[in-house]
Chains A and B, each alone.
Chain A
């Protein structure tokens, strides 16, 4: 873990699986201004470039806490291997990274940061992914993307090397939105499921209540004659809020105008196309029904409208009020307490959005001018994350063998860990930043079996193979090059050109018996015959008794004819019976 362990703000996870090294996400910590905002790549290697130490990098979605450090990693630390992400992520990432770079370098004057060219060079290394399509990274490593919901293009990733697999969720949500579906994955049974758990200890307020709050605030402002500014990113949330307002305006028969800024349409149409191929049938229908930005009550904005008297609502880009049209409008409207600005998402440090969300009421603008912020500032969070219930739902879907929770606080997740361990009987880990977790897997090793051995096993009865009744068998495993073969011991010896050793045991049992040797032998024969029914017992003319293949002989001492010595001899295969016989005979013979 080089980030996202018990830390909200930066995701960067290193996984070693089947000899392959994979980096999952490469995020920036938005709370720090120094090098702490970057993941610590010395965990990969102390010696500069990462190319030789990583097989691939996978980015789950375009949020900066998941991809913000990517150009730094690939161009300043150094990585030339493949970077995987979905098509929409590939389209949107560079825009956000460039915006972020501008704010950090141009506005805040930082120097140790990536350049525009670095962003471009980084994106050249990107290999785009489609949903549910298996991609071979190399001979042994394959990956597959699944729909994660959360934001446009967000994916959960299934990674497989040999018979071991990992699923990384990135950010996801299990309850559908108006414009995004819920995450979905099949019963892929990964060895580890790595899930974000920022909201694992929350129970999310319903989407409808959030929307209600939004409508209430907008309505209250409009009623008192105020103007409402909603800074947005071009697609996704903006569309959803537009649909919401349109429906509300229609029902309440409201007359105040609603506008969207022109910058939105071009970007929107571009992303619209991406969006349509990306989302599922149900979501697609919503957009096909209503043509993008063809609303009854919502019209295109012209900058001169900002000075019009009376109430109005305007959607304008960019989303953090750091430049462009939304900032221009904000400057005009900030001085009137009847007005309102609704921030529908997180704002990066250094932006006006971030400042006003922290309660700042006096802002320093260009040329030392100050702006008094008198309008009402509302922060609303519409982002969709999985809460406690959502995580349990995902585990039920994927059926992992082990669980790994990242992006949360360990002391506050013991209960969730207990819940998971109890309901699913799987281990749950919660590593901290810099901590390594080793998870034992039970990989199944496929082995060829010789026909002879198979026939022999089948003769013992029962169908083969029976997945419900694993069977143990005797054999010899031959590993030649990369093949594994199970054969019978005889065949193995033959192939190796070795002779099989024969092992024979001999046992001497003293016995007192006042008869002749041959009479004693006969007595032994009768005794064993009555005791061991069902066994082949023979009294042979050469003066031995045979029990199966065990040989019994009698001899007597020269000094004392009654002191008999019984000699038992058996081979290794008859060990059990031989031991039994010797213990029986040690007890002596029954009286005549």
Chain B
């Protein structure tokens, strides 16, 4: 693309962004990340996934974003690098242990976990404090990790459904092991309450179990779908009220199914999203306390869907909002792969704020405006 064409397209998007976003921040990391993990309401951790030495960074979001009164007087638009450390290998998965300064990582290749101390005010160095051994010796991919929401530092981890275990970080003791008949590679591990968790397999199966009980887990088969060799991703709402906990499953052919946690086998609603290719870094995520689902990893765009529009019958749907910032800002040389989103997260409290990262090392913080409030445009029309 011609330099001026690229600049024009970028300018155009920025002009549109004046009304499409309340706040927008664009950053460039030295190396791209596949992980974004909240370590507090204002801080996130990111980490590189290159083949050799990588950096782990704890970043504080720009103060201007959080200034409520006197927002105009705050000029601070930058990320502040609070803590940094070095990892010998790539980081494929990173989780923060609640109510602590610990994070746990996995290199995306083996099943061992690395434990780190993020550090306090006296130093800005993230230090490795230990290792947690995994069960599997030759997995197809690295372990998924979920940090227990309970007060003691425990992590649930494993690369396959048959090798998931709950380990106490301080003692190294294995507190619980998931026993399944088959060994399915996992795409996600997630706690839905203090002790209940979901293991989302890439073949679409979901295992639900309680770490306090040694009973066999409940297994929910993949939703009926046309693509037999489809890969599935799962996310559950983090609603503390168990009653309204919903689970979404998305396939690599774009089929999205929403179920209630108590009846995983039944679909509450479903939709056909416009997705073509498969990818390693797919994220599907519920917005906190809303009926929105965000999807990324198939292209350089993050898409937000309103599930209130979805029905029992499978229909094509269009996104409520698309964040095209990464796609538009990335100037790729001819012949190179186009930019692709590697991860995105919703802010736990601010309803419209998201962070997204891409293969070119860009990190965006964006506060999007609901298309409704912008004027006569209807919800089913994408805003861009």
Q: Which residues of A contact B (CB under 8 A)?
A: 199, 201-206, 208-213, 215-217, 219, 247-248, 251-252, 357-359, 376-381, 387-389, 392, 411-416, 418-419, 422
Tell me whether A204 and B27 are in contact (CB under 8 A): yes
From known contacts A411-B124, A414-B123, infer whether A209 and B81 are also in contact, taking CB-CB under 8 Å. no
A375 to B43 CA separation, bound complex (whole angstroms): 33
A residues in contact with B123, CB < 8 Å: 411, 414
A residues in contact with B11, CB < 8 Å: 247
Known A-B contacts: A206-B27, A378-B72. Give 8 more (CB < 8 A).
Answer: A204-B78, A205-B26, A212-B24, A381-B76, A412-B124, A415-B125, A418-B84, A422-B53
B residues in contact with A381, CB < 8 Å: 75-77
A281 shortest CB reach to chain B, Å? 16
Tell me whether A411 and B27 are in contact (CB under 8 A): no
B70 within 8 A of A: yes
B29 within 8 A of A: yes
Tell me whether A379 and B81 are in contact (CB under 8 A): no
Interface size of B by CB at 8 A reads 40
Q: List 18 A-B contacts (CB under 8 A).
A: A201-B82, A202-B78, A202-B81, A204-B27, A205-B25, A205-B78, A206-B26, A206-B27, A209-B26, A219-B18, A377-B73, A378-B73, A379-B73, A381-B76, A387-B78, A414-B124, A415-B124, A418-B86
By CB atoms of chain A within 10 A, which of B53, B78, B80 has the most?
B78
A499 shortest CB reach to chain B, Å? 62
A376 to B75 CA separation, bound complex (whole angstroms): 14
From known contacts A208-B26, A209-B24, A212-B24, infer whether A388 and B81 are also in contact, taking CB-CB under 8 Å. yes
A residues in contact with B26, CB < 8 Å: 205-206, 208-209
Tell me whether B25 and A209 are in contact (CB under 8 A): yes
Tell me whether A414 and B125 are in contact (CB under 8 A): yes
B79 within 8 A of A: yes
B residues in contact with A247, CB < 8 Å: 11
Q: Which residues of B contact A (CB under 8 A)?
A: 10-11, 14-15, 17-18, 24-30, 53, 55, 59, 62, 70, 72-86, 121-126, 363
B residues in contact with A378, CB < 8 Å: 72-73
B373 shortest CB reach to chain A, Å? 15
A residues in contact with B14, CB < 8 Å: 208, 211-212
Tell me whether A392 and B81 are in contact (CB under 8 A): no
Instruction: Please pick, from B30, B72, B122, the residue contacting A389 in the complex, using a CB distance under 8 A.
Output: B30
B220 shortest CB reach to chain A, Å? 42
A412 to B10 CA separation, bound complex (whole angstroms): 35
A412 to B181 CA separation, bound complex (whole angstroms): 50
A215 to B122 CA separation, bound complex (whole angstroms): 40
A3 to B53 CA separation, bound complex (whole angstroms): 36
B27 shortest CB reach to chain A, Å? 5
A392 to B76 CA separation, bound complex (whole angstroms): 23
The residue in chain B whose Cβ has the minimal distance to the Cβ of A213 is B77
Instruction: Please pick, from B15, B24, B70, B124, the residue contacting A251 in the complex, using a CB distance under 8 A.
Output: B15
A residues in contact with B70, CB < 8 Å: 359
A residues in contact with B75, CB < 8 Å: 379-381
From known contacts A204-B27, A215-B18, infer whether A411 and B122 are also in contact, taking CB-CB under 8 Å. yes
B residues in contact with A212, CB < 8 Å: 14, 17-18, 24
A217 to B11 CA separation, bound complex (whole angstroms): 17
The residue in chain A whose Cβ has the minimal distance to the Cβ of B56 is A415
The 6 residue pairs across chains A and B that have the minimum distance between CB atoms? A415-B84, A205-B77, A203-B79, A206-B26, A381-B75, A378-B72
A333 shortest CB reach to chain B, Å? 15
B277 shortest CB reach to chain A, Å? 29
